[in-house]
Chains A and B, each alone.
Chain A
Amino acid sequence: MSGLVHLIYSSAATREMSSKDLVALLALAREKNASLDITGMLLFVEGSFLQVLEGDGDAVDALFEHIARDDRHTSVVTIIREPIPRRDFSDWSMGYAQVSAEELASIDGLNDFFQGQGCFDDLNPGRTKKLLKAFNSGRWRSRVATQPIDDQPSVSSPQPTNSLPTERPPVSYAFQPIIDLDDERVTSHEAIELDKTTKLPTTVQRDDPAARTQLQMESHTMAMGLAARLGLSTGLTLNYAVYRCDDAERTMQATVDAAERYGFRPDRLTLELDHDQLLDDPQWFASVLQQQRAFGMRISIDNFGAGRSGHYLIDTYKPDGVALNEGLVRHIETNGARQAIVRGILQTAEDLGIDVVAKQIRDQAEVDWFRSEGVHLFQGALFAEPQFEQLASEVFIPARELT
């Protein structure tokens, strides 16, 4: 069974669309959509399309799949697809904003959607109307994107785990670079803990807090010792699993001691916090962090937006950076909801001077989207896989290969 849904997408025209082209498109779409019992509208503003399709879920999906392949447009982004109780449009129409009134009057079936009568103002208040308003105010305007370069191998990287088993098998570290594409250099290496034998992420044993504290203290020491032996010259990013705060001072002190022993100035270190729990006393934990920041250590929130890593952490920790992971970056170039979430995060980050790292990047299209939004810090298999007990010997920089 598939009920009534609407699907709203945006895209960029691949060529100039004259009024005549649009009328032709309108006629074609009307006929086809009527036969499928699909209603909605197509809006064209300054080279960008926004289309609303309403109808039976399966029919809408099938039509959208077809539309997405049409070469008259590109950069197709699904903004939303959701069930609706009733249709907003009684048939299929097309709006064409910002053309002269005379021109509109001369073309049957084409109207100035935002100024004309019987159009925007008559819509039911609801999601469709809000999205059309956002589009008219300049949101969701797709520009023709640069062509992605040849397919890069899309290999999934072992993901860092921030937790340690109590009965610990021997662990060691892999290092994965974080790259600044603005000046094409590696800014830092993240130490990722792996089981020494299997080279897989270590697994978590939650219920022994004392053991976890001990392991947390040892892990930064081991990672820094290894990084120093490998002659690391960039920054070093260390994971910190935040799940209780009463041991924060001890674990933090162990990190500071290790940094001193292995010759890492605090300003080369980034502590990346992962929250799998809410803290009893986040303010206190924040005050411990502030002491470290006073010495120059950077604080970053890992996996921002996921699990317990929400907005309140920005207010509580005032971090130097946030990292966006799998759940927000994967195929972002076609996922409108992820784009909207990330744009909001970028807005907040920009206002507060917080660095944003796009992690777990697998392909060029993801990089292109983030670059177009001004993100310049990246990590992921596209650039360099984590190397077990080694620093990456080669880093892929889009447009040219660096060694």
Chain B
Amino acid sequence: MIERQNDPRALAYSFAFQPIVDIRRALIVSQEALVRGPNGESAFSVLEPLEAPFIYEVDEQLRADAIRLASTLGQPTDLHLNLNLMPRGLEMSPDSIASTIAAAADVRLGAEAITIEITESEIIHDISLFVAIANESRSAGVQFAIDDFGAGYAGLNLLAEFQPDAIKLDRELISAIQTSGPRQAIVRGVQRTCEDLGIDIIAEGVETQPEFDWLFGEGIELFQGYFFARPGFQQLPEVLFPLVGA
């Protein structure tokens, strides 16, 4: 039933939003836009039929549409969005972040309200080109996060060339971390590196109280996951903040 598409405008999709929270300040610091089917179907169902290079065009269009949808759901003054980007798309279309900034400006959202999450399902071919383009948009105020950190896609060495504003710990590293020595040691090492480079750590995919307790006990303050809020289809979900010591 799925047909190979090549017209981005013919594609049907919508978005869910999932909060990223700052536990100590009990604040939602951003909402990550997650692509969904028109009736809330999975991201996979939307993206799987797409092929390169068409998928990169869609990738750019998705960010603009997510911004437009979010702007109808919340006040532009408190809105901050995390938007995904395929790095290879940036290599093919160097203007694709600029076009995202323009889409944000259309709804009176500043570049500083945008964090680009680099989703790495492919290794970045040309790191220096990527860094040059990314740095240009940083001058405009856009922030960057590396998604799925530690999964083996975005190599640790990338941090030697490019220091993002945040990294998102891969959920494989977080899962049952309270009982896994190697995962704990890995997270402590990543914390050490990030602290020395002024990079925030976001623990994503946190689902249980013991996972949260361990991570928070180690000083991690930014979180995302079912434990705090599930993605809300076409809405910006509220968060029930866990009680933590002062």
Query: Residue on A with the closest CB to B196?
Result: A340
Interface residues of chain B: helix, strand, loop or mixed (majority): helix
**B149: shortest Cβ distance to chain A, in Å?**
8
Q: Does B89 contact A (CB under 8 A)?
A: no
Asked if A311 and B135 make an inter-chain contact with CB atoms under 8 angstroms apart, the answer reads no
Q: Is A347 an interface residue (CB 8 A)?
A: yes
Contact A315 B160 (CB under 8 A): no
- Give chain B residues whose Cβ lies under 8 Å from the Cβ of A315: 172-173, 180, 182-183, 186
Report if A36 contacts B (CB, 8 A): no
B192 touches A344 (CB 8 A): yes
Identity of the chain A residue whose Cβ is nearest the Cβ of B156 in the assembled complex: A305
Q: Which of B123, B161, B196 contacts A134 (CB 8 A)?
A: B196
Is A348 within 8 A of B189, CB to CB? yes
- Tally of chain B residues near chain A (CB < 8 A): 46
Q: B197: nearest residue on chain A (CB-CB)?
A: A340
Closest residue of A by beta carbon distance from B159: A341
Q: How many A-B pairs fall under 8 Å by CB?
A: 146
* A: number of interface residues (CB 8 Å): 50
Please state if A351 and B196 are interface contacts (CB–CB under 8 Å).
no
Nearest opposing residue in chain A for B188, CB measure? A347
Contact assessment for B198 and A127 in the assembled complex, using a CB-CB cutoff below 8 Å: yes
Task: Select B163's contact among A80, A310, A351, beta carbons within 8 Å.
Answer: A80
Residue A352 interfacial (CB < 8 Å): yes
Q: Mark A280-315, 1 if CB is under 8 A from B, else 0.
A: 000000000000000000000000111111111111
Q: Is A187 an interface residue (CB 8 A)?
A: no
Whether a CB of chain B sits under 8 angstroms from the CB of A140 is: yes
Residues of B with C-beta under 8 A to A344: 189-194, 196
CA distance A83 to B200 in the complex (A): 18
Knowing A82-B135, A337-B159, A351-B185, the reply to whether A343 touches B152 (Cβ < 8 A) is no
Cβ–Cβ < 8 Å partners of B185 in chain A: 314, 347-348, 351-352
Convert A336-356 into 0s and 1s, putting 1 for each residue whose CB lies closer than 8 angstroms to a CB of B: 111111011111110110000
Residues in A neighbouring B163, C-beta threshold 8 A: 80, 82, 127, 337
Residue A335 interfacial (CB < 8 Å): yes
**Can you name 12 A-B residue pairings with CB atoms under 8 Å?**
A79-B197, A310-B150, A311-B150, A311-B156, A314-B182, A315-B173, A328-B157, A335-B160, A337-B160, A344-B196, A345-B193, A348-B188
Q: Which 3 A-B pairs have the closest CB atoms?
A: A344-B193, A348-B189, A305-B156
